[in-house]
Structure formats: structure tokens, C-alpha cells
Amino acid sequence: MTKVKLRLLAALGAFAAGVGAVVTVALLANSTLGGSSSSGSVAPPAVPPAPTASGTDAAAFPSPPPGALVLAGEDRDLAVGLAVTRRGSRLGLQASVLGQDQPAPGLSVSFRLPGAGPVQARSCGTGCYRAVVDGAAARRVEVAIRGHDRPASAVTFTLPASVPGPPAAGLVRRAAATWRSLRTLVDHDRLSSGPGATIDTVWQFQAPYRLTYRIRNGPQAVAIGGRRWDKVVGGGWQESTQDPIRQPIPLWQSVSDAHLLGSAIVRGKPTSEIGFFDPRIPAWFTIWVEKATMRTLQLTMTAKAHFMHEVYGPFDSRLRIVPPRKGGA
């Protein structure tokens, strides 16, 4: 069984009727929600591969260059990563453009800085587009995209005061350690693969092996150690077995190009805003870490067919996850 595991497994069932092949899974932990079922209950729905390096040729993936400032955004069905490096008085820019299934080739991509005309990018591989532009002090970059079968569009990125910014790998390590030290955590998750394909899920985690999720207007589940219970809308709870899932743990698997983007107030609390790239998924992350506690208060993840926004809290509340009552709602 692969060590790259899946999240939002039951979300596929919620989408099956109307969304078709949309990929709605992301990383959860070191074991699947699916596991192995030894009871007579309905098995969890089949899952397409999560976005991982094992499902994409790592050598062909348009990863950002080492040491770059990394940002990412959503352009309808496309995931767009931006890597920025300083080259004296100029900026080196790379756009990594991912379609729903693979890096997107054959696009016309240009970069525009405030007060300047567009600079056409050249191809640097499949889904990779680069240019060097004037304006090292720029605070904004627009990535314009045109294709044969899609209308013109653009994504605008705000740059920090300095490029690439202070290194932040140590902050990410401290945030991950804090995450693993939590006793309980609530996660409000919004996950989309593009326009019209979005699900909202509330997750609850109780260390070390208990979790629940409930998809708005969709399935819900409880997992405790090697047992799980699933419930679809209008149905009853069905029990099965699985591999235990350790929680809470962070979503990312590895960290590169971590830089401090700045400071922000999130829900009244001072936070450090950090951007980094995870080459193992691969995906771009931005996290907001509370300065006083090193707790991650919110997160965005951008990958192929995955546009995720998570809001975390409460932390270490009196949450207790127990098996569902027979016949209960």
C-alpha cells in the first residue's frame, strides 16, 4: 500500500452524480480512509490518484527553481504557480501551469508588472513558462494566459516587500511540530477542482487515531483506530475496518523554497504568512501561523485539480469522538 494517502475520500460519492471525473481528494495522513473492509458493509468509494509525484513524472513537472519565492493561484480550471527570483535590478519569473490532469503545454503566457507592457514568456518545458523582466521593486505581477481552446485570462500575484524574502523553513518545522502536539483540532475545509465543483467539509480530529468528517449536504464518517462508520444522505451508518489514521498532522509532506511573505492579522491574532512548495505532492502552500502559539490558523493548497482553503480551530477543545449511535442521525 502506498505511503501517499488520501483525504476527502467520501467526497467522491457526493460529486459522482453531477461532476463526473473531478478529482476531490487531497492528502490526509499515513493511511487511507479506505483501508480494508472485513465486514459486510458497503466499501468506501473508489478513488482516483491523489496529486503526488508518483503520479506525475517528477523530472517533467514544472517545479520552481531552488531558492525562489513561490506563490500560487487558481485560474478557473488551471492551477498557476509563480516563482520569482531576483537578478540584480531585474526579476526572473516562472509560471507553472497545471491542467486538470497534467501540466498544460502550448499556452501563450506573458507577464506584466505595474506601469509596464507585457513580456512574453518562453517555454521551459511542459507547463513551464519563463521570462526576465525589469522592475525588481515591483509589488505585483500579472500572469496572462491564452490558449487555442480557452478564452484569455489572468492571475495577479502580490509580492512581499523583498524577493525572495526571509527563509522560513524553520518556522514551517515549528508549525508542523505544534500541529502534531495537538490533542484535538477542528478543520473547516473548502475544496474545489474548478468552477461549479466545490465541497465544504468539517473535520474533527482527536489524537492519536480518531476523526470525523461531515460534508455539507453529503456523506459523513467516523473513524476510530481500525474501525470506521460511513453514512450517506438518507441512509444508516455502516461499519467497516481500515488502517488506523494518525491525526492531527499537517497536510504537507515535504517543504522547499519556504519564505516569509509578511505578517497578517487572522481572526484578531498576529500571524506569519509563509509560502512554500511541496515537491512530493506536488503542490504550493500558503500558511498563516499564529506567532504566539505556532498554530496554523489557515492554509491554502494549490495543485492540479485541487484548490483548497482550510480554516483551523478550535484547538485542544473538549472534543470527544465516539462511535455513532445505532439508528442515529
H-assigned helices in the chain:
11-15, 169-181
Whether a cis peptide bond, with omega within 30° of 0, leads into 44 is no
Q: What are phi and psi of 175, to 5 degrees?
A: -65, -40
pTM of the predicted model as reported, rounded to 2 decimal places: 0.85
Q: What angle do CA 252, 48, 126 make, to 5 degrees?
A: 70
- The domain segmentation of the chain, as residue ranges, is 11-49+168-315, 74-158
- The CATH architecture to which 11-49+168-315 belongs is Clam (2.50)
Beta carbons within 8 Å of 78's beta carbon, 6+ residues apart: 97, 98, 99, 104, 145, 153
- The CATH architecture to which 74-158 belongs is Sandwich (2.60)
Could you read off the pLDDT tens digit of each residue along the chain, which spans 329 residues?
Answer: 232 234 444 333 333 323 322 233 333 332 333 333 333 333 333 223 334 444 445 668 999 999 999 999 999 999 999 999 998 889 999 999 999 999 999 999 999 999 889 999 999 999 999 999 998 888 999 999 999 788 899 999 999 999 999 999 999 999 999 999 999 999 999 999 888 889 999 999 999 999 999 999 999 999 999 999 999 999 999 999 999 999 999 999 999 999 999 999 999 999 999 999 999 999 999 999 999 999 999 999 999 999 999 999 999 999 999 999 876 66
For residues 21 and 12, the answer to whether their CB atoms sit within 8 Å is no
Predicted confidence at residue 1, as pLDDT, reads 28
Predicted confidence at residue 60, as pLDDT, reads 84
Q: Tell me the C-alpha distance between 315 and 182, whole Å.
A: 7
Predicted confidence at residue 329, as pLDDT, reads 60
For residues 243 and 31, the answer to whether their CB atoms sit within 8 Å is yes
Q: Tell me the C-alpha distance between 53 and 283, whole Å.
A: 10
Predicted confidence at residue 93, as pLDDT, reads 98
